[in-house]
Amino acid sequence: MKFFKNLLTFIIFCNSFHFFSQKKPNVVMIVLDDLNDFTGYMNGHPQAETPNIDNLASQSVIFNNAHSNVPVCSPSRASFMTGIHPITSKFWGFGNALKNEVFMNSKSIPEFLKENGYQVFQTGKVFHQSPKKVWDDSGIPADYGPMAFNGKKQVGHPSNPTEMAEQLGALDATFVPLSDVPVIDSSEAGPGYNGWRFTNWKTNRHFNYVNEENRDLITDEMSAEWFKDKISELEENSNQKPFFIATGFIRPHTPLVVPTKYYEKYPIENIEIPKRLKNDLLDTEYVTGNKETRGHKAWRLLSEGYGSEELGLKKFTQAYLASINFADDMVGRVVDAIENSVFAKNTIIILFSDHGFFVGQKDHLWKYNLWKEASHVPLLIRQPGNSKNAGNVVNHPVSLIDIFPTIMDYCSFKGSTIKNDKGKAYNGYSLKPFIENTTSKKWKGPDEALTMIASWKSKDPDKQHFAIQTSRYRYIKYFNGGEELYDHQNDPDEWYNLANEKKFDKVIKDMRLRLEERIEDYNK
């Protein structure tokens, strides 16, 4: 008995030594994909169930006015992984970030941490296009599947509207439970296929599904398992170097295919579709002759495919809520792995989404526009030892380019993040002042967050579509000069465009100047 007591004491001593010998904090970054404000703590939807994210929020500083700089995957991730605003990099569209000169010649988060003595790991979807050799371990490859397959390529699921898949692609038109195993008959398009299939070129193979107890794991489940194993491996390793782990969960990005138990929590007859205003687009610049956006087309095809807007939105909302609840479970597994390890008291956790998502609001079903639901994202930062601010809210506008400098600040890094003269310095600012004091006056960043999308009319950074968010207002300016203004104090759903009301002339003038200053600052 004495031997075992001594052994236990020795193990505790070793684990304590392991913890206290790390002078710099570990950092765990959890990136969700296409998650808007449908979380419990953000109250974006009354039926959203996110107990794990909500619990993390109760332990974190909550950034309630955080925004993506480009509300679509590739440019958003390129910007937050380098801290460089899309205006500066000139990367704001759907291209490949690995072909962007500024992105490739500026240090990303893992590159900078690695040269500062950190071990750097990732799993799932972190970058949209990942540079080579930046990670010590790349974990589980990102795979959006499983998807229906016709023997040659991925296709729309038989349970979803056919025309929606034909016009938008199978990825954005698939939303069914995992138990709805597709059977695709042979045709001129392909020999047919029975069952699900993974889609990534690295993981392209049959997805086994017999039942919920006898099936393959989808990417997010594999990433959660990988994370737990990596933490165990680090605990056993005598290497005392601090670590950075980026965990990218794909859901609730389409296809909204998750285990059936998550769908069963949301019976279709009980689904509440998001709040909408009839003819909400009439006072926006959308109706001034612009080409139909992808988001509006998706909403239209969904409504037509199910014979009514209400039924279509019920089906999609059910799938979106189920996918969010699934993603929340994955977040819980990651947080639990940290909490149950020797690293619990020395690990900063940062959780956010790359951008938001529309589920019928403003007759849209997608992202990549300038209204709030597309740019507004969850952002939580849990710093060990900061219990006095746990659950407190920061209402000051911030954006995702602020994450990189925040990590640099907490890890006490100095030095340039530029590789050569083709690179650019980061544009973001450390959020540490707000984490230590949610109403801090020490914040060095701007008083507005700037989001942009491409006009497709010019490559000039000044000639795109922009939105700036302040503590109260959202101002949108389009390439053609069209404007929108929303007062979030009185209109949080952005139902009433105030840009043409005389009593807001002074506000409009102020917002124009703010936008010009932001563009000029990022365009240096």
- From CA 193, how far away is CA 212, in angstroms rounded? 21
List, in sequence order, every residue forming a beta bridge with 375; answer none if it has no partner.
Answer: none
User: What local confidence, expressed as pLDDT, does residue 1 receive?
Assistant: 47
- φ, ψ of residue 126 to 5 degrees: the values are -115, -75
Q: Could you give the CA distance from residue 10 to residue 31 in angstroms, rounded to a whole number?
A: 37
Tokens (6 digits) for 468: 């700036």
Give which of 418, 325, 432 is closest to 386, Cα–Cα.
432
CA–CA separation, 268 vs 311, rounded Å?
9
Residue 290: the pLDDT is: 67
Taking the model in full, what pTM does it have? 0.95
Q: Is the dihedral of CA 333, 338, 341, 345 positive or negative?
A: negative
Q: Is the preceding omega at residue 384 within 30 degrees of 0, hence cis?
A: no
Residues across the chain: 524
How would you class 13 by CB atoms within 10 Å of its CB: exposed for 0-12, middle for 13-18, buried for 19 or more? exposed
Query: What is the model's pLDDT at position 11?
Result: 45
- DSSP letter string, 302-362: HHHHHTSHHHHHHHHHHHHHHHHHHHHHHHHHHHHHHHTSTTGGGEEEEEEES----SSGG
Return the DSSP state at 137. Answer: B
- Provide the residue-wise pLDDT of the chain in tens; the chain has 524 residues: 444 444 444 444 344 444 445 689 999 999 999 999 999 999 999 999 999 999 999 999 999 999 999 999 999 999 999 999 999 999 999 999 999 999 999 999 999 999 999 999 999 999 999 999 999 999 999 999 999 999 999 999 999 999 999 999 999 999 999 999 999 999 999 999 999 999 887 778 999 999 999 999 999 999 999 999 999 999 998 778 999 999 999 999 999 999 999 999 999 999 999 999 999 999 998 766 668 999 999 999 999 999 999 999 999 999 999 999 999 999 999 999 999 999 999 999 999 999 999 999 999 999 999 999 999 999 999 999 999 999 999 999 999 999 999 999 999 988 899 999 999 999 999 999 999 999 999 999 999 999 999 999 999 999 999 999 999 999 999 999 999 999 999 999 999 999 999 999 999 999 999 999 999 999 98
Considering only CA atoms, which of 15, 12, 24 is closest in space to residue 238?
15
Q: Other CB atoms closer than 10 Å to residue 502's CB: what's the count?
A: 7
How far is the C-alpha of 37 from the C-alpha of 54, rounded, in Å?
A: 12
The strands making up 347-353's β-sheet, listed across from edge to edge, are 119-124, 243-248, 26-32, 347-353, 379-382, 61-63, 393-394
Handedness of CA 90, 82, 366, 195 (dihedral sign): positive
Contact 416, 378 (CB under 8 A): no
Contact 421, 56 (CB under 8 A): no
